[in-house]
Structure 1
Amino acid sequence: MRIPLPLISTSNGSHPGGRSAMTCRFRCGDACFHEVPNPTANPYVGDVIADALSRRSMMRAAAVVTVAAAAGTAVSVPEAKAATTTGEAAAKAAGSGRAARGLRFNPVVPNTADTVTVPDGYQQNVVIRWGEPILRGAPAFDPDHQTAATQAGQFGYNCDFLSLLPLPGERGKQLLVANHEYTDEVLMFAGYDEANPTREQVEIAWAAHGLSAVVVEEDRRTGKLTAVPRHHLNRRVTATTEFRVTGPAAGSDLLKTSADPTGTKVLGTLNNCSGGTTPWGTTLHGEENFNQYFGNATRATDKRYGIGTGGTERKWELFDKRFDVAQEPNEVHRFGYVVEFDPYDPSSTPRKHTALGRFKHEAATVRLTADGRPVVYSGDDERFDYFYKFVSSKRMKHGTSRAVREHNLSLLDEGTLYVAKLTGDSPAIEIDGTGKLPSDGEFDGSGEWIPLATATAKGAVSHVDGMTAEEVFVFTRLAGDKVGATKMDRPEDIEPSPLTGKVYVALTNNKDRGATGKAGPDEANPRNSNKHGHVLELTERWNRPESTRFAWSLFLVAGDPNDPATYFAGFPKDKVSPISCPDNVAFDPYGNLWISTDGAQLGVHDGLFGVATRGSRRGELKQFLTMPAGAETCGPIIQERRVLVAVQHPGEIDGASVENPASTWPDGPGKLVRPAVVAVWRADGCAIGS
């Protein structure tokens, strides 16, 4: 039985995905409505036919994809029961009739409810909300009397990436680290005047950005998690916290400002999106849409990074000249990096690692080589931009001494930065943008990691003609342009499987693919006006993360399962949940991939999905939860007995304000809508999806 999905209308139907105009303004500075920052004419996937024998020696043949025309606007999907009930024919096609371990739950029906909806038999609680005090001396949240000083001691706004770290010696407690990507001033301040923000409002917003570290304690009877206020490890990092610049660009003339003539000290971190947890016990945080905070730019390099020529949405440049590019032209060069944070040392200075390049980092996830060197994967979340990896030349050390921790904190300062170039194995003429399958029956191919620059203790060497090493690390997008990297459909989170080593790349969407004057379709981005996105599966040669060669295929092509231009790794499409706009990804203990969505364009709210990556159930995708009105799913953590998600920007719907809220989550009518972290567990105490 098919059920139609309710459609959500917005005040501006031209906005991409399911995002509201408000989200586009405050989250990324209306990035999708500015000219594409990448004007280069790089070669595309499918321009050259790869050696199929070489490719197939690197990965097994995938199931045949059935893909055709792009999806329409009306959507229908199987009801929840149908997604778990297989007939004899479907069972033969998909393998055993039982879902993969970790995914044995009744999927949530797509909906538009103003709440976090979880499967039957599961419970949830709000772990911590925006404004809850976490530092000693911080007062309880009072939206009518908020100050910058109080916010600096409270949990920040719009939580995104989450990491849970162990606390040895403290039974039942863990250390939660959260990103705070950006602020929604119109939902934070009553009577907010967008044309004339006050200094107090601006300074509160500075304090609401950054990171939070807060100890959480579990109720062993229920699975509930609660924050522990005023623990000695609790910490806030804001837009005015001092950071240390490390790596090959530290001290460069490109990073020197009037306030910091050394080019080694930066105040704050901005627009922290996704991130990663390192094997040595620190967390990594990607500075993503940093460009929107800086105004009055005039240089060509600024345009390549999407920095505007006029004033900004938040008007911070009126209160601090470092946000005015005309006055401080190098300040913007000090953002767009991967930040490393040591949550176990409250006195530590966070670092910005220039060796990982400067772009809109969506994530920074780590896999170790066989000899203990970290490899970091990161996507550049922009239409037609690239994805990268960094291979360290230094080995991780084990231990907890200060000397060991200091060594490990330097691992990401020396090594080689690479950008990905993908080649399809089908003639370009067969990739026509409709989603029609090429003659070999699948979208796949091979690829190479092209070196951009190498940093060593003695200096750095550029591998890009016409650019110095410093220029490569500060203007990394330009380096990718010069070497002909493959333009992708907004590469966001990238995560290597801890069980198989395969790397999964979430490509959220790209409304401009195939538009006049823009890059056309290619085998890794096969749909014009790609509004639903896809997930790419990458296999490093010999399964070594340091390899410079890889094979790839499209694991999921998102959208309405009824649309022939969708694909779920060969699993029967009448047995899966609909998914649109994949964003963050994570793995559970069994190797299943979990995907959160951002701006789903199926007329329903965003959610969290689990999908099997191996075995006879490979491609079986099931929705685990949905978000409240206006919210995006962020930062999923999948433990054996608990799932955590960040509920970002609830109520962020056109026309909403403090006085006219579009959501009442999480505390009900009459209360301010507040971003928060949510924990979900099975009511019977058993493992998730078992």
Structure 2
Amino acid sequence: MSETTGRKFALLPMLGHTKGKRSPVTCALKCDNACSGDVCNTSSNSYFRDIASATMSRRAALGFGAAGALAVVLGSAVTSAGTAVADGGTGLAAAAKDGFGKSKLQFTAIPSIAADVDKLTVPAGFTWQPVIRWGDPIFNTAPDFDLNKQTAAAQEQQFGYNNDYSDILEIPGSKGRRAVLFANHEYTNENIMFPATMPAADVRAVGQAAHGLTVVELERKNKNKPWSYVKGAGLNRRYLNSTVYELTGPVAGSSLVKTIDDPSGRAIKGTLGNCSGGTTPWGTILSGEENFNGYFVSPGTSAEDKRYGLTSKATARQWEIDDKRFDTRNKGYENEANRFGWIVEVDPFDPTSTPKKHSALGRFKHEGANVIVAESGHVVAYSGDDERFDYLYKFVSKDKYREGDRKHNMTLLSAGDLYVAKFTGNSPAAEITGTGAVPADGAFDGTGEWLPLVVGGKSCVPGMPSVEEVLVYTRLAADKVGPTKMDRCEDVQPSLHTGKVYVACTNNSDRGKAGKEGATEINPRNANRDGHIVEITESGDQTSTTFTWNLLMVCGDPAQGDVTYFSGFPVDQVSPISCPDNLAFDAVGNLWISTDGAPSGIGRADGLFKVTLDGAERGKVEQFLAVPRDAETCGPIVHDDERTVFVSVQHPGEDGTFDAPNSYFPDYVAAGTTPASGQVRAPRPSVVQVFRTDA
């Protein structure tokens, strides 16, 4: 970013190298051009296959036992505290006893939509409208959004930019008419947010204020009506870069996280790069700090810096100009970057509460974290490290979940054991060709184990006896125990219907390149453009250290000649799908997938897809919606009992400019694609709701 313009991103290393509709601008602003640089994981450990040649919305997935004491996730199989946890507190939904069922949310799949179509496309019989948009005022003191008169003070009181993870939790006693919406704000695109006349310092200040998290109250007349947000409601809150987060767990107070501003090493200002998340069984929200490295200037010479993608180049937004902590070369701020890359927990029902960062879950590029209560009563959280050739992790709490004891349950993520996954395939190496072709036994499958990093408060990593070091430099610790290198494992969701765990592997364009690991049974395609979905079955309950696995699907577009696999379902009867990102479940156990990358790289819009998981139609993919030009589909919430779906539409119009917008989402005229007179002439990331017109 130039100090004079404040928003001209001249260097786009991914220009000409992205696939499909993926924008090089997104690569620059969201993940600091991760795919153009060296792979962070240069460890020699490789995939272990060759040795073997051996009813709830998604967030509730999770057990939601204490929810009745505070909040019940809307549209789930859970309707009261008494039915929140079935089978003695295992975390499985009550509906799981009846197996899979037929959803009330019936629709005819839409066709693939071209990437240059600037509208949100939904099935016949459905319509959509925003719940809340970037810039909407959430406090009574907040001004109305004025695109040409933006200030940091105003943005701090308005809905932030590029909402990703979202969830809606009912307010107890409201009879389905009041709820809270949580959304996080992953990154900003200053190119399209601000006029050229805006001073660079103001651009930086407003951009910072547009990051963070938002909680806002919703209301509706009844369950058949759409939601509206409530300006000035008592639970409304913005979490900003000035918000203090309590660091919990073994790293709290460590010398590895102390700075001149926080000599205690326990109070961290702000959260960055928030991507996906999860909702806990006790009604709090988790959010993953993902691409935090792009906000820091660092020496970039140490093994730790290199493993986390920290460099000495100026950052895209240049916050380091105004705030010394974003340049870790400054004396007293050497550890500032170590204070990011954690799982964040917030209480959406208490605006006076202090949010937390949980060090026990390890530090890496968390896509998110999703929690389920094991049969033993321990809480288990799954999390993926969203980087090429990085790993899948699992956390098991030290203490057990207590039904109805919310205060106790809010401590469960502060202490426990941390593991990293190692997958072993059962097909001969010669049958894994790198094309995605299914091996002779008809499936990609095998066994696996959870390798311990920290157990019983002690390090299990050779050469790293310090638990604090293992948790601050989790990537380096994992390298030492030999886990499986994955193709960007992003959202990881346990199903409450079966207890199985689903992992979205988005893609990995570097697999099979010279000097890099080639195809393996768990990651079966070289130059993996389209990604795949892993299905894990723990050997015992969720605390087990062994598991079996299979690939639910190998994504792509069969009509374009892609080699694909959909659990045996006919490939000519599926909606083409590429780059799976966020996952969700509906009330009867179907999987829903939002995408971040056009299907098969042929210029199609991202969307939301339903996948059947059982019976003769297992593996059937049906596209429900498509997002507008340049946008990504995030944060799906499926309330199929109300025939309503919510998504976060992120970075619409990414490739445009302020003066020449590439999208007018969501402020279209009724039947057109340009804004009405007097409307905001800029794309606005939004949370939208899709519902039946006859509801």
Per the shorter chain, which TM-score range?
0.7 to 0.9
In structure 1, the partner of 2:277 is: 275
User: CA–CA distance in 2 between the matches of 1:364 and 1:16?
Assistant: 28
How far is 1:505 from its partner? Answer: 0.3
User: CA–CA distance in 1 between the matches of 2:472 and 2:222?
Assistant: 48
SS at match of 2:617: coil
Native 8 Å contact 1:103 1:622 kept in 2:
no
Q: Are 1:351 and 2:356 counterparts?
A: yes
Native 8 Å contact 1:296 1:311 kept in 2:
no
SS at match of 2:400: coil
User: CA–CA distance in 1 between the matches of 2:157 and 2:147?
Assistant: 14
How far is 1:525 from its partner? Answer: 0.4
How far is 1:50 from its partner? Answer: 6.3
How far is 1:11 from its partner? Answer: 9.8
Give the one of 296, 300, 304 matched to 1:301.
Answer: 304
In structure 1, the partner of 2:84 is: none
Q: Are 1:176 and 2:171 counterparts?
A: no
In structure 2, the partner of 1:443 is: 444
Native 8 Å contact 2:20 2:604 kept in 1:
no
User: CA–CA distance in 2 between the matches of 1:102 and 1:564?
Assistant: 33
SS at match of 1:273: strand
- Return the TM-score normalized by structure 2: 0.86
In structure 1, the partner of 2:412 is: 411
How far is 1:362 from its partner? Answer: 0.4
Q: 1:527 to 1:406 in 2, by over 3 A?
A: same
Native 8 Å contact 1:186 1:192 kept in 2:
no
In structure 1, the partner of 2:683 is: 673
Native 8 Å contact 1:584 1:634 kept in 2:
yes
How far is 1:406 from its partner? Answer: 3.1
SS at match of 1:472: helix
Q: Are 1:464 and 2:461 counterparts?
A: yes
| Deviations 1:614-666, CA, capped at 9 Å, x for gaps | 1221111100000000100000000122100000000002xx21111111111
How far is 1:498 from its partner? Answer: 1.0
SS at match of 2:622: strand
Q: Which amino acid aligns with 1:180?
A: H
How far is 1:142 from its partner? Answer: 1.0
Native 8 Å contact 1:592 1:612 kept in 2:
yes
Q: Are 1:141 and 2:141 counterparts?
A: no
Give the one of 18, 43, 47 matched to 1:44.
Answer: 47
1:371-382 correspondence to structure 2 within 5 Å? 371-382=376-387
User: CA–CA distance in 2 between the matches of 1:564 and 1:623?
Assistant: 18
Give the one of 113, 130, 133 matched to 1:129.
Answer: 133
SS at match of 2:553: strand
In structure 1, the partner of 2:160 is: 156
Q: Are 1:548 and 2:551 counterparts?
A: no
In structure 2, the partner of 1:94 is: none
How far is 1:221 from its partner? Answer: 7.3
Native 8 Å contact 2:437 2:564 kept in 1:
no
1:392-403 correspondence to structure 2 within 5 Å? 392-399=397-404
User: CA–CA distance in 2 between the matches of 1:421 and 1:594?
Assistant: 26
1:318-337 correspondence to structure 2 within 5 Å? 318-327=321-330, 328-337=333-342
Shifted more, 559-568 versus 617-626: the winner is 559-568
How far is 1:218 from its partner? Answer: 2.4
In structure 2, the partner of 1:118 is: 122
How far is 1:524 from its partner? Answer: 0.3
How far is 1:102 from its partner? Answer: 5.1
SS at match of 2:305: helix
Q: Are 1:568 and 2:561 counterparts?
A: no
Root-mean-square deviation (Å):
1.8
Q: Which amino acid aligns with 2:361?
A: L
User: CA–CA distance in 2 between the matches of 1:540 and 1:634?
Assistant: 27
User: CA–CA distance in 2 between the matches of 1:243 and 1:518?
Assistant: 38
1:471-490 correspondence to structure 2 within 5 Å? 471-490=469-488
Q: Are 1:428 and 2:435 counterparts?
A: no
User: CA–CA distance in 2 between the matches of 1:209 and 1:292?
Assistant: 14
Q: Which amino acid aligns with 2:351?
A: P
Q: Which amino acid aligns with 2:412?
A: L
How far is 1:249 from its partner? Answer: 0.5
How far is 1:439 from its partner? Answer: 2.8
Give the one of 12, 22, 36 matched to 2:15.
Answer: 12
Q: Which amino acid aligns with 2:345?
A: E
User: CA–CA distance in 2 between the matches of 1:159 and 1:380?
Assistant: 20
| Deviations 1:96-117, CA, capped at 9 Å, x for gaps | xxx9535631111111321111
How far is 1:204 from its partner? Answer: 1.2
SS at match of 2:660: coil
User: CA–CA distance in 1 between the matches of 2:223 and 2:260?
Assistant: 56
Q: Are 1:558 and 2:562 counterparts?
A: no
| Deviations 1:535-560, CA, capped at 9 Å, x for gaps | 01110113x11111010111011000
Give structure 1 regions of 4+ aligned residues with deviation exceeding 4 angstroms: none
Q: Are 1:220 and 2:218 counterparts?
A: no
In structure 2, the partner of 1:91 is: none
SS at match of 1:567: coil
Shifted more, 368-377 versus 501-510: the winner is 368-377
Q: 1:17 to 1:306 in 2, by over 3 A?
A: farther
In structure 1, the partner of 2:7 is: none
Q: Which amino acid aligns with 1:425?
A: N
User: CA–CA distance in 2 between the matches of 1:294 and 1:398?
Assistant: 41
SS at match of 2:408: helix
Native 8 Å contact 1:608 1:625 kept in 2:
yes
Native 8 Å contact 2:167 2:182 kept in 1:
yes
SS at match of 1:123: strand
How far is 1:365 from its partner? Answer: 0.4
Shifted more, 390-399 versus 288-297: the winner is 390-399
Give the one of 470, 494, 497 matched to 1:496.
Answer: 494
Q: Which amino acid aligns with 1:453?
A: V
Shifted more, 134-143 versus 156-165: the winner is 134-143
How far is 1:46 from its partner? Answer: 2.0
Q: Are 1:618 and 2:628 counterparts?
A: no
User: CA–CA distance in 2 between the matches of 1:425 and 1:611?
Assistant: 25
In structure 2, the partner of 1:510 is: 508
Q: Are 1:339 and 2:344 counterparts?
A: yes
Q: Which amino acid aligns with 1:14?
A: H
Native 8 Å contact 1:103 1:611 kept in 2:
no
Q: Which amino acid aligns with 2:323?
A: D
Q: Are 1:534 and 2:535 counterparts?
A: no
How far is 1:429 from its partner? Answer: 2.9
Q: Which amino acid aligns with 1:545?
A: Q
Q: Which amino acid aligns with 1:657?
A: T
SS at match of 1:471: helix
Q: Which amino acid aligns with 2:291?
A: N
Native 8 Å contact 1:17 1:532 kept in 2:
no
Native 8 Å contact 2:366 2:384 kept in 1:
yes
How far is 1:17 from its partner? Answer: 4.9
SS at match of 1:48: helix
In structure 2, the partner of 1:64 is: none
Give the one of 301, 313, 326 matched to 2:316.
Answer: 313
User: CA–CA distance in 2 between the matches of 1:538 and 1:103?
Assistant: 27
How far is 1:266 from its partner? Answer: 0.5
User: CA–CA distance in 1 between the matches of 2:666 and 2:691?
Assistant: 18
Q: Which amino acid aligns with 2:555?
A: A
Give the one of 34, 37, 54 matched to 1:34.
Answer: 37
Give the one of 206, 212, 215 matched to 1:210.
Answer: 212
Native 8 Å contact 1:338 1:361 kept in 2:
yes
Q: Which amino acid aligns with 2:693?
A: A
SS at match of 2:399: coil
User: CA–CA distance in 1 between the matches of 2:131 and 2:197?
Assistant: 28
Residue ranges of structure 1 left out of the alignment (5+ in a row): 1-9, 52-98, 686-690
Native 8 Å contact 1:595 1:609 kept in 2:
yes
| Deviations 1:411-454, CA, capped at 9 Å, x for gaps | 00111000000001122233231223323222110000011013
SS at match of 1:559: coil
User: CA–CA distance in 2 between the matches of 1:110 and 1:220?
Assistant: 33
How far is 1:220 from its partner? Answer: 2.8
User: CA–CA distance in 1 between the matches of 2:484 and 2:279?
Assistant: 27
Residue ranges of structure 2 left out of the alignment (5+ in a row): 1-12, 55-100, 669-673, 676-680
1:650-669 correspondence to structure 2 within 5 Å? 650-653=652-655, 656-668=656-668, 669=674
User: CA–CA distance in 1 between the matches of 2:569 and 2:306?
Assistant: 43
